[in-house]
Structures are given as C-alpha cells and as structure tokens.
C-alpha cells in the first residue's frame, strides 16, 4: 500500500533528525535540472537513492504514483514535502501559529530581521560578543534555521515555520511536552 510506503519513507527521513524532510527537499531541488520544480520518476528514484533512503523500486513507484495527483508523470516538491510532513494535533498547530504570530511583529505574514528586533536579543550570541558578527548577522543566522533550504531569502513564512516545527514535533511524543517546550521557547 502506498500510504505504508510514505509512512516508511517519512520514518527514514525523521531518523535523520528534524532536518530530514527539509534535507530531502533540498536533494530533490538539486535533482531538478530544468528548474521545473517537479520530478519525473527517474529523478525521484535517483534522488531517493542519493539521499540514502531505501524503500525499493516498487515502493518508490507506489509513493510516486500516490503523490502524482494529476497523473502528469511528475510530482511537485511542495506536494511531496506536504505528504512527508508528519501529522500534528490541532493543539500543536495552534501553538506553532501563536509562536509565529509573536515572531511576526509587523503582522504581515512574513518574519524578517525587522521583526526580530525587540523579540530576539542577539547581543548574547558568542559571535556577537567576540566581535566576529554584527547583530544583523546574528539575526540572519537565527532566521536561517527556519528559512526554506532551497529559497534562502532572509524571510520566514508561516509555511516555513510550520515545516521546521513539524520536524521538531515528530521527535516529541507528548502534546503536553511539545506545547510546554514551545511556550517556554517563545514565552507564550
């Protein structure tokens, strides 16, 4: 069954840590030679192999077919990542949304360096203290944690924020613990 194969692929990605799904997306973007933001089966299969994810050719074909919703013979990266994102409870989603709203000081749906000022104190960062980085460089480094690996634009959208925390969420069994962690981290 394709759903079982997707679950197996998701688990293999998550074994690689929170960046597993983002890392797979980055690998696939590298495989996208024509810049079409989609992969045919050969690119998909090769991408899995290069990433070290072994689901077997039959399972890879089933996963590919399930993700190729329109039967075009290609899959979209965002759709692929959406299929791999582990399901989250509504309580976790709500907490992630609250953290993003706090993060997004201007309320425009995108977090930038300007939003960080007043929310994140970069002056305690070791590289700032040593004089190696400016406060702006500290902010950029912080944003890169959440920014999409294939579109480093210095801006973080809600989708990128959710993608980051879906990886974190997958490694935390208890809703209570995840929510407490988020509340403490973001002072919610």
Tens of pLDDT, residue by residue over 132-177, are 999 989 988 888 888 776 677 888 999 888 888 887 887 788 999 9
Q: Choose among 108, 109, 111, 102: nearest CA to 153.
A: 111
Hey, what are 68's tokens? 């190729």
DSSP character at residue 87: P
Q: Tell me what the mean pLDDT of segment 25-30 comes to.
A: 73
pLDDT in tens, 72-86: 999 987 777 777 777
Tell me the pLDDT band of 34, cut-offs 50, 70 and 90.
Answer: confident
pLDDT of 16 > 90? The answer is no
Q: How far apart are CA 137 and CA 115, in angstroms?
A: 14
pLDDT of 188 > 60? The answer is yes
Residue 2 pLDDT: 65
Burial category of 21 from C-beta neighbours within 10 Å (exposed 0-12, middle 13-18, buried 19 and up)? buried
Residue 18 pLDDT: 46
């Amino acid at each position: 069954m394709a759903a079982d194969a997707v679950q197996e692929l998701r688990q293999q990605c998550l074994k690689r840590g929170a960046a597993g799904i983002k890392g797979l997306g980055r690998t696939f973007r590298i495989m996208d030679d024509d810049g079409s933001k989609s992969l045919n089966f050969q690119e998909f299969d090769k991408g899995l192999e290069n990433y070290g994810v072994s689901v077997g050719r039959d399972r890879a074909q089933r996963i590919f077919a399930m993700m190729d919703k329109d039967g075009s013979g290609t899959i979209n990266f965002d759709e692929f990542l959406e299929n791999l994102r582990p399901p989250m409870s509504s309580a976790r989603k709500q907490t992630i949304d609250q953290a993003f709203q706090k993060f997004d000081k201007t309320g425009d749906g995108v977090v930038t360096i300007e939003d960080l000022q007043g929310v994140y104190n970069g002056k305690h960062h070791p590289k700032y203290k040593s004089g190696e980085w400016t406060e702006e460089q500290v902010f950029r480094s912080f944003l890169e944690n959440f920014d999409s690996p294939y579109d480093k634009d210095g801006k973080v959208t809600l989708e990128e924020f959710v993608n980051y925390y879906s990886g974190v969420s997958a490694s935390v069994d208890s809703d209570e613990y995840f929510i407490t962690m988020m509340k403490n981290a973001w002072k919610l």
